[in-house]
Homo-oligomer: A and B are copies of this chain.
Amino acid sequence: MKRIKITDEVKGTFKNNWNFCVGTERMGIALQKEYLDTLEFVRKAINFKYIRGHGLLHDDTAIYREYEIGGEIKPFYNFTYIDRIFDSFLERGLKPFVELGFMPSKLASGDQTVFYWKGNVTPPKDYDKWKGLIQALVNHFIDRYGIEEVLQWPFEVWNEPNLDIFWKDADKAEYFKLYRVTAFAIKEIHKGLQVGGPAICGGADHWIEDFLRFCHKETVPVDFVSRHLYSSKQPKLQTHELVYQDLAEPEDMLKELKAVRELINASPFPGLPFHITEYNTSYTPLNPVHDTCLNAAYLARIISEAGDIVDSFSYWTFSDVFEELDVPRAQFHGGFGLVALNNIPKPTYHMFSFFEKMGRYILYRDESMLVTRKSDQTVTITAWNPEMTKGEDFSKDISIELVLQDGEYFIKRNTVNEQYGNPWHAWIQMGRPRFPVKKAVETLREIARPRVDYDKLSCTGNKLLLELTLSKNEVTFLEISRIKEESETYYRLDDSMIPGY
């Protein structure tokens, strides 16, 4: 039994850097109805402010074409789709965190591609035309949405250029060239527009050092540093539809962030904004861990603490409407999404929605619990119990003593664990139907809701005692609200006279 005493003193602020941004499959897929339905579903529960994904310049947005006009090859910028996509985001209350990539095939210097959807990852064959494209794009955004709006959009140059699958030969010098041309192209339009990079994956932080040194030395504008973060290890088994991996300890993710933060602070740009533009447990959309409670329980600590280290961290991704490794082959398939196909929320979705209901004022925080007070005096608790060891004997008892005003309190508890709020588990029991019929989808949606319990407790001597048991990989949320008892306003009320009560 873990015993915790919590006073009413505020220990800090719970920053909302965790819901600043969320990841998405490529821009072209944002035309789809299920994608947009899921985006609305997510926004109702979690107040993400920005959205970031690949493929803005990919052929399927049609943004860049070339035609022979009077004997000359001329670029044509087609904004039909990208307008529809950005309109959709803004109408749903999300701003774009603009990633500039990949290469339109007409502009590409080679034909190396990445993903099922064949994003071209080679440098531009003509940097003037690239500059022309970037400026046409930014000017179009300003014409359509107004400069005040566009000034709020970060522009990030490319994605993971330190990996040769995303950038030909992982050529650092070429990336710096791309960055320089792009950054100046943007700043030429308006100094206040924000541009950054290098959007690398983990394990290559010398790129960040080199990048900042380069920007400083060559006085290339840089408004933020970006990087990714995944905690999965090398695959243990990998097939065309499944990847299994072990995970590092949750705190390793925090350590990694701190190390980079220090590295930036030691650069010529100390204090430069630092965005984690992708993170998750596993980096593959075929790892079943994404569908589990463990994923939620494991990442809860990151949500709780990482906002103190970085300016934002963007969960990769909000939805299983995702095609990087081909169209999903089953209802659950290890996708990144907070929400599975057919709009079925996963445990990690609920974990995010719990944090959304937390207050600004931290009363207590440790590695498996956050306790806050909201401005209306409600106390909220999110607690989690991740356990990567096999077996079932890992439930945890916690006793919490809260300092509160004397009186009666209403406690509502939402629970997500192996049995509740866990549609993946139910789906396994159903026989893993790849393409469930409507009735099965409805059953899964019903099962996907967290369990709800409630209680009424007394606080005397300014102490309220809560006793919780968290099962293995559970994430639980409690809301503790003071009761204003109105029973005495009912004349001659007597529940004992109700039959059977």
Residues of B within 8 A of A456 (CB): 429-430
Counting chain B CB atoms within 10 Å of each CB, which of A79, A140, A454 scores highest? A454
Asked if B410 contacts A289 (CB within 8 A), the reply is no
A426 at the interface (CB under 8 A from B): yes
Which of B80, B236, B491 meets A327, CB within 8 Å? Answer: B80
Residues of B near A388 (CB, < 8 A) are 499-500
A240, closest chain B residue (CB)? B67
**Chain A interface helix/strand/loop/mixed:** mixed
Contact A499 B246 (CB under 8 A): yes
Hey, which chain B residues are within 8 Å of A80, CB to CB? 327-330, 341, 434-435
* A490 partner residues in chain B, CB cutoff 8 A: 241-242, 330, 432
B410 near A430 with CB under 8 A, answer yes
Q: Quick one: closest B residue to A33, CB to CB?
A: B33
Instruction: Verify B447–A412 contact, CB threshold 8 A.
Output: yes
A498 vs chain B, min Cβ distance (A)? 5
**A411 CA to B491 CA, complexed, in Å:** 46
With a 10 A CB-CB cut-off, give which of A236, A430, A443, A446 has the most chain B CB atoms. Answer: A430
The verdict on A356 contacting chain B, using a C-beta distance below 8 Å, is no
Assuming A33-B36, A144-B437, is B247 touching A499 (CB within 8 A)? yes
Which residues from chain B contact A454 at a C-beta distance below 8 Å? Answer: 426, 429, 447
A10 at the B interface (CB under 8 A)? no
Chain B residues with Cβ below 8 Å from A419 are 453
Q: Using Cβ atoms and an 8 Å threshold, which residues of chain B touch A330? A: 80, 490
In whole angstroms, how far apart are the Cα atoms of A292 and B501 in the complex? 8
Indicate whether A497 sits within 8 Å of B443 (C-beta atoms), given known contacts A65-B326, A327-B81, A430-B483: no
- Cross-chain contact of A329 among B78, B483, B485, B501 (Cβ < 8 A): B78
Residue pair A244, B498 in contact (C-beta under 8 Å): yes
Q: How large is the interface on A (under 10, 10 to 19, 20 to 34, 35 or more residues)?
A: 35 or more
A11 interface hit (Cβ, 8 Å): no
Q: How far is the CB of A70 from chain B (nearest CB, A)?
A: 8
Chain B residue nearest to A321 in the complex (CB): B31
Nearest residue in B to A456 (C-beta to C-beta)? B429
A34 within 8 A of B: yes
| Residues of A in contact with B (beta carbons under 8 Å apart) | 31-34, 36, 61-62, 65, 67, 69-70, 76, 78-81, 83-84, 87-88, 140, 144, 236-237, 239-242, 244-247, 288-289, 292, 294, 298, 326-330, 341, 386-390, 408, 410, 412, 419, 426, 428-435, 437-438, 443, 446-447, 449, 451-456, 472-473, 479, 483-487, 489-501
19 A-B pairs with CB atoms under 8 Å apart are: A31-B32, A33-B88, A81-B327, A83-B435, A236-B497, A237-B494, A244-B498, A288-B498, A292-B498, A390-B500, A410-B429, A419-B453, A429-B456, A431-B484, A432-B487, A433-B484, A434-B489, A449-B452, A472-B500
